[in-house]
A and B are shown apart, each in its own frame.
Chain A
Amino acid sequence: MILNIMIREIQHNLLSLRLQIAFILSIVIFSLGSIAFIKSHADNVAEYKRYHNDFIENMREDAEENLTQMAINSRQLIMAPRGSNFIDDAKERYTPNRFYFSAYNIFGYDVNPGSTNPFLNAFQELNWIFIVSVIISFTVLLFTFDTVSGEKEHKTLAISLANSLSRGNLLFGKYLSVILTTLLILLPGLCLSLIIILLSGSVAIHFNLILEIAGFLLAAIILTACIAAFGLLASVLTYSARTSLLYALCFWLLFISFMPNTAVFWASTIFPIEKGESVEERIRREQEDINNNAPPGSWSSSGGNPFLPQHELRANNQTNLMNARVSITKAYYNTRFQQFERVKLLTFLSPVSLYSYLNESIVGGGYPRFQKVWNDLHGYQAQLLQFFKEKDANDPDSPHWYNPYEDYSTTRKPAKFEEVPIFEEKPLSFPERFKYAGLYLLVLVLYTAGIFILAFVRFLKYDVR
């Protein structure tokens, strides 16, 4: 019986104006988004290649001239443009995407100001996730808001239920039909977009990408199911389709605009963190203490004589200064991470936000990607330092007093650049992605089930007369 209802509903939907408009809109935005992606991705890749070549050349010059310079020079690592940006850019242009490190330390991270034009408003790229979270979710609500209340107004609901048909089956049939109809809108646009992008050659198809697309589709279906459940809820809450539409639009506005866009306010009021300036002040005070308590001669130096005994004191002092900075900033960064993760939990109320978190985990971008690079970079820094220390140990002209900032008391010999470890960003493995995605997936599914059950219970008591 469910099948009959579904077929009837889908046939009805297929002929509806809303499907036609949504279909055209989806095709147009998928195409425009893909074209813009191809252009911007090509530019970003070219720009990144130039930057990366400079980065490597810089390091090569240092290594082939003086290993200590290679170790102490602070370097900037910028995250490479991600091929799966056309699925979800995860707002990587606005979030931390640049890291500062040397062989001794990871100094910090920030947002590369070059990744945005300050005169333009923050925007969402017209990628697949935008289409699903804005256009598709809106369409789903327009498909569902009058499912029950509209039928009641036309008196067809009473007739339908006069047959030997359970209310559960009727509602579930309608529900599934909306999800399937939405897929009919989504899939052609998605295929078109994929064809445009693959034909342009800007992104190569590979197994990971196929998995990411499959994951995206799964997430899109779950979001569709969730929004459809909200649409049904709006429909069964009232006896008039107009009022249902109002409720549905209210849900949509809250999910799309209000909840995610007030997160920054909640973050700063409910989970405040220390100001960056005050952290810098603490570092300054601690470093001042270290300098005041340093043994005499800790600032003496002689560029010509590495073995000057004061160089050891100087190296120790600089190491202490660095360690003071590292321990304070590390703790501060952890509070940043915690604040962000907590405020994300608050936005779990919006299925659209949950969906975007789920997607960024699936494509391995955004915050999970940042965390991966951040952790891997720490591993790499340890490896680079180890390499430097090994080379330094073999140099009889070095006193081996490790100074993290200055070239006084460690090896000044060159090294073959081929031997120097180079950082390469590894994409998140699928188990790693699932570690992040699992929670969002679970919450979104439970959320969907909860809202559907609510709609179902309300429908059981619905007066169809």
Chain B
Amino acid sequence: MIQHIALKEFYNNLVSVRFTVGFILCLFLIPFILFVSIYDYKSQVQAYEVDKQRAEERDQVRVYSAYRPDIVKKPEPLGIFCKGINFNVGNRVRIWFGVKPLLASGDSSARENPHLNAFLTIDFVSILAILMSLLAILFTYDACSGERETGTFKLLLSNSIERYKILLGKILGVILTLLPVLLICYVLSILIMVLFGIASFSWHDFLRIGLLFGLSVVFFLLFIALGIFISSRTQSSVTSVIVCLFIWATVVFVVPNLSVYFAQSFVKVRSQENLESSLSELNREFYKKYEEISNELENPDIWFMHFNHNGGADGYRELAGTADKTYEYYRQLNIHTVPLGIENADKKWAIQKAYFDELEQQRHTAEWLALLSPSEVFRLAASALCRTDVDSHLRFLDRTRQYREELIQFFQDEKIFDSFQYFTRVPPEKFRSADEIIEITTNGKLKSRDEYQTWAQNRSDIFSIFAAQLPEPERRNDYYETLDLSNVPKFQYKPNRILDDLKHSLSKIAAMFILSVLLFYLAFISFIRYDVR
């Protein structure tokens, strides 16, 4: 009997205007939104390629102190379904010893014009949440009250059929009508992605899409349960639809905004200016100590011709063409100041972490408040499945910090910080004393520094004695190939397994499911007592 009722409901629904309108709306909106997301994804991929190429160019260094690799995060193809925080956060992290990476920099967004931030964006999951919840409500709000109004309820119950079977049949009828629509939305979206050449999905990704579909079904069942419950509590279908629609608008449009607004208003996060000024304070202390150390060390005169010197106290230095004592001076300076710089980064991290915790606290508050809205729960769980949620991003950032530690460890193990190679490509055997340099660069006209100083006294053309070109090109950095960094640890990042990603969402999804079952149960109780007259 249940089957008969379900089929009758299904046929009735199929020929109804609401089905036609809903179906057309889905067929029109879902592919369009998907097309927009694919367009954004492709722009992200283009930006990624450019950034990646730049990062590779940056890795072509001649000294170790210049090695500050840029980690560029690959755009997430599943982000086409749910953009999550993809467009809020950067995609690039620079690894260096002066600071631990806190947030990603760079612009992962396809948005070139910041004025366009005045417009919000929408993705597949959001539009699905809006449409499927609305359709679920529109197909259920008159399940009981509508039949009562048209008088068909009495006719139905005059047969020898239990009430619960009628309700079950109705629920199945709605599911039978709308589940294929949901399925079509997913199939259509995968087809569109294949059509646009987004074919980089692994079977893991397909499993994630399958789970996303399952999640959509749970979300959709909740709204069916809500519609049936409200319908079973009201005598008129107008009352039922009004109550349903207000609840729908509140949970889909008001609560998501309310949760974030409240979190931002009531959980305070220090300003970035405040953070920057605290970090600058620590940097000033570091530079002060750096200066003290450099003053304490025996400081040779370092003003020679054909002398290349780039960099400074932040750790990067590229030096060539100078005298052996100068090289040694900088080596000693590095031995004393590089650990100080790393220590300073740890001190700065304590402040950065406090800021980061405040951001996180704000986010957790927003997520707690968002539990009031099933559509937000659905969106959050979907972004976890699509690896575009905050936790996935934070894992990536954690990994970059770990990588920085690995790199420091490697440099320490290999004694690179203490080596000449840290700041010059010129091999130590090619180093010359100041006197030798004077002799070579003046083509033998002067023999020593003292001679040069005597010659240069009271002259204005103090550089005129030097050769225009360096006679010994092997004393320049650019004479040498870039460093072979094949033994340096490379950044590797393995995204989480599905279960790990779902760990935080499972309780929320379960809560959504339990709420659906509870609403169905309450609907059954109400329906059994429903006055059909």
> Given A36-B261, A47-B271, A130-B257, are A119 and B88 neighbors across the interface (CB < 8 Å)?
yes
Whether A260 lies near B359 (C-beta < 8 A) is no
Question: Taking the complex as formed, is A345 at the interface, i.e. its CB lies under 8 A from any CB of chain B?
Answer: no
Question: Taking the complex as formed, is B360 at the interface, i.e. its CB lies under 8 A from any CB of chain A?
Answer: yes
> Given A123-B260, A125-B257, A135-B254, are A142 and B119 neighbors across the interface (CB < 8 Å)?
no
Whether B110 lies near A268 (C-beta < 8 A) is yes
B211-256 at interface with A (beta carbon < 8 Å): 238-239, 241-243, 245-246, 249-250, 253-254, 256
Whether A118 lies near B89 (C-beta < 8 A) is yes
Question: Chain A residues near B116 (CB, 8 Å)?
Answer: 263-264, 267, 339-340, 343
Which one of B18, B111, B127, B265 has the greatest number of beta carbons of chain A within 10 Å? B265
Question: Taking the complex as formed, is B118 at the interface, i.e. its CB lies under 8 A from any CB of chain A?
Answer: yes
Whether A273 lies near B112 (C-beta < 8 A) is yes
A136-170 at interface with B (beta carbon < 8 Å): 138, 142, 146, 150
B478-528 at interface with A (beta carbon < 8 Å): none
CB distance from B277 to the nearest CB of A (A): 8
Question: Taking the complex as formed, is A95 at the interface, i.e. its CB lies under 8 A from any CB of chain B?
Answer: yes
Question: Taking the complex as formed, is B203 at the interface, i.e. its CB lies under 8 A from any CB of chain A?
Answer: no
Q: In the complex, identify which listed stretch (A5-13, A37-45, A214-222, A431-439) lies at the interface while the others stay far away.
A: A37-45
Whole-angstrom distance between the alpha carbons of A303 and B362 in the complex?
A: 49
Question: Chain B residues near A267 (CB, 8 Å)?
Answer: 113, 116
CB distance from B70 to the nearest CB of A (A): 15
Whole-angstrom distance between the alpha carbons of A41 and B274 in the complex?
A: 18
Of the residues A96, A125, A257, A276, contact of B261 by C-beta under 8 Å: A125
Binary flags per residue of A211-233, CB closer than 8 Å to B gives 1, else 0: 00000000000000000000000
B44-93 at interface with A (beta carbon < 8 Å): 50, 85, 88-89
Whether B89 lies near A134 (C-beta < 8 A) is no
A83-118 at interface with B (beta carbon < 8 Å): 90-91, 94-96, 109-114, 116-118
Whether A117 lies near B363 (C-beta < 8 A) is yes
Whole-angstrom distance between the alpha carbons of A344 and B389 in the complex?
A: 30
Question: Chain A residues near B122 (CB, 8 Å)?
Answer: 257-258, 261-262
Of the residues B113, B118, B264, contact of A366 by C-beta under 8 Å: B118
CB distance from B143 to the nearest CB of A (A): 13
Interface residues of B, dominant DSSP: helix
Whole-angstrom distance between the alpha carbons of A415 and B230 in the complex?
A: 74
Question: Taking the complex as formed, is B21 at the interface, i.e. its CB lies under 8 A from any CB of chain A?
Answer: yes
| Total residues of chain B contacting the partner, CB 8 A | 71
Whether A21 lies near B249 (C-beta < 8 A) is no
Whole-angstrom distance between the alpha carbons of A449 and B475 in the complex?
A: 81
Whole-angstrom distance between the alpha carbons of A262 and B123 in the complex?
A: 10
Whether B118 lies near A95 (C-beta < 8 A) is yes
Whole-angstrom distance between the alpha carbons of A274 and B113 in the complex?
A: 10
Question: Chain B residues near A118 (CB, 8 Å)?
Answer: 85, 88-89, 103, 359
Whether A114 lies near B249 (C-beta < 8 A) is no
Question: Taking the complex as formed, is B351 at the interface, i.e. its CB lies under 8 A from any CB of chain A?
Answer: no
Question: Chain A residues near B117 (CB, 8 Å)?
Answer: 91, 94-95, 111, 122
| Total residues of chain A contacting the partner, CB 8 A | 83
Closest residue of chain A to B234, judged by CB?
Answer: A17
Question: Chain A residues near B111 (CB, 8 Å)?
Answer: 264, 268
> Given A122-B88, A340-B116, are A245 and B241 neighbors across the interface (CB < 8 Å)?
yes
Of the residues B50, B250, B257, B260, contact of A277 by C-beta under 8 Å: B50
Question: Taking the complex as formed, is B263 at the interface, i.e. its CB lies under 8 A from any CB of chain A?
Answer: yes
Whether A120 lies near B238 (C-beta < 8 A) is no
Whether B360 lies near A17 (C-beta < 8 A) is no
Binary flags per residue of B108-131, CB closer than 8 Å to A gives 1, else 0: 001111111111111000010011
Binary flags per residue of A250-276, CB closer than 8 Å to B gives 1, else 0: 100100111011111101110001111
Question: Taking the complex as formed, is B176 at the interface, i.e. its CB lies under 8 A from any CB of chain A?
Answer: no
Whether A135 lies near B363 (C-beta < 8 A) is no
Question: Chain B residues near A196 (CB, 8 Å)?
Answer: none
Whether A120 lies near B243 (C-beta < 8 A) is no
Whether B260 lies near A120 (C-beta < 8 A) is yes
Closest residue of chain B to A356, judged by CB?
Answer: B118
Closest residue of chain B to A113, judged by CB?
Answer: B272
Question: Taking the complex as formed, is A330 at the interface, i.e. its CB lies under 8 A from any CB of chain B?
Answer: no
Question: Taking the complex as formed, is A425 at the interface, i.e. its CB lies under 8 A from any CB of chain B?
Answer: no
Question: Taking the complex as formed, is A70 at the interface, i.e. its CB lies under 8 A from any CB of chain B?
Answer: no
Which one of A111, A117, A134 has the greatest number of beta carbons of chain B within 10 Å? A117
Whether B18 lies near A122 (C-beta < 8 A) is no
Closest residue of chain B to A18, judged by CB?
Answer: B242
Whole-angstrom distance between the alpha carbons of A240 and B39 in the complex?
A: 40
Whole-angstrom distance between the alpha carbons of A179 and B114 in the complex?
A: 37
CB distance from A18 to the nearest CB of B (A): 5
Whether A265 lies near B254 (C-beta < 8 A) is no
Whole-angstrom distance between the alpha carbons of A158 and B199 in the complex?
A: 60
Whether B261 lies near A256 (C-beta < 8 A) is no
Whether B17 lies near A240 (C-beta < 8 A) is yes
> Given A54-B273, A130-B257, are A94 and B243 neighbors across the interface (CB < 8 Å)?
no
Question: Chain A residues near B246 (CB, 8 Å)?
Answer: 18, 21-22, 25
Question: Taking the complex as formed, is A422 at the interface, i.e. its CB lies under 8 A from any CB of chain B?
Answer: no
Question: Chain B residues near A113 (CB, 8 Å)?
Answer: 272
Whether B50 lies near A246 (C-beta < 8 A) is no
CB distance from B517 to the nearest CB of A (A): 26
Question: Taking the complex as formed, is A51 at the interface, i.e. its CB lies under 8 A from any CB of chain B?
Answer: yes
Closest residue of chain A to B241, judged by CB?
Answer: A245
Binary flags per residue of B10-43, CB closer than 8 Å to A gives 1, else 0: 0000000110011001000100110010011001
Question: Taking the complex as formed, is B289 at the interface, i.e. its CB lies under 8 A from any CB of chain A?
Answer: no
Question: Taking the complex as formed, is B371 at the interface, i.e. its CB lies under 8 A from any CB of chain A?
Answer: no
CB distance from B407 to the nearest CB of A (A): 25
Whether A36 lies near B39 (C-beta < 8 A) is no
Question: Taking the complex as formed, is B303 at the interface, i.e. its CB lies under 8 A from any CB of chain A?
Answer: no
Closest residue of chain B to A347, judged by CB?
Answer: B119
Question: Taking the complex as formed, is B138 at the interface, i.e. its CB lies under 8 A from any CB of chain A?
Answer: yes
Whether B253 lies near A134 (C-beta < 8 A) is yes
Question: Taking the complex as formed, is A126 at the interface, i.e. its CB lies under 8 A from any CB of chain B?
Answer: yes
Whole-angstrom distance between the alpha carbons of A241 and B22 in the complex?
A: 16
> Given A118-B103, A123-B256, are A135 and B249 neighbors across the interface (CB < 8 Å)?
yes
Binary flags per residue of A230-245, CB closer than 8 Å to B gives 1, else 0: 0000000010111101
Of the residues A130, A146, A243, A262, contact of B36 by C-beta under 8 Å: A262
Of the residues B115, B118, B119, B250, contact of A25 by C-beta under 8 Å: B250
Whole-angstrom distance between the alpha carbons of A378 and B253 in the complex?
A: 40
Question: Chain A residues near B238 (CB, 8 Å)?
Answer: 146, 150, 241
Whether A39 lies near B359 (C-beta < 8 A) is no
A381-430 at interface with B (beta carbon < 8 Å): none
Question: Taking the complex as formed, is B190 at the interface, i.e. its CB lies under 8 A from any CB of chain A?
Answer: no
B141-179 at interface with A (beta carbon < 8 Å): 142
Whether A276 lies near B112 (C-beta < 8 A) is yes
Question: Chain B residues near A138 (CB, 8 Å)?
Answer: 245, 249
Question: Chain B residues near A260 (CB, 8 Å)?
Answer: 119-120
Whether B239 lies near A17 (C-beta < 8 A) is yes
Question: Chain B residues near A257 (CB, 8 Å)?
Answer: 122, 127, 130
Question: Chain B residues near A50 (CB, 8 Å)?
Answer: 271, 273-274
Whole-angstrom distance between the alpha carbons of A287 and B269 in the complex?
A: 41
- Ordered by A's residue number, 11 sampled pairs between the chains whose C-beta atoms are within 8 Å are A94-B118, A119-B393, A122-B117, A135-B254, A142-B242, A243-B18, A246-B17, A261-B119, A265-B36, A267-B113, A269-B39
6 extra interface residue pairs, beta carbon distance < 8 Å, beyond A96-B114, A110-B114, A340-B115:
A90-B118, A95-B114, A111-B117, A134-B249, A247-B21, A336-B112
Closest 6 A/B residue pairs (Cβ)? A114-B272, A40-B265, A123-B260, A340-B115, A36-B265, A94-B117
A residues with CB within 8 A of B: 17-18, 21-22, 25, 29, 32-33, 36-37, 39-40, 43, 47, 50-51, 54, 90-91, 94-96, 109-114, 116-126, 130, 134-135, 138, 142, 146, 150, 238, 240-243, 245-247, 249-250, 253, 256-258, 260-265, 267-269, 273-277, 336-337, 339-340, 343, 347, 366-367, 370
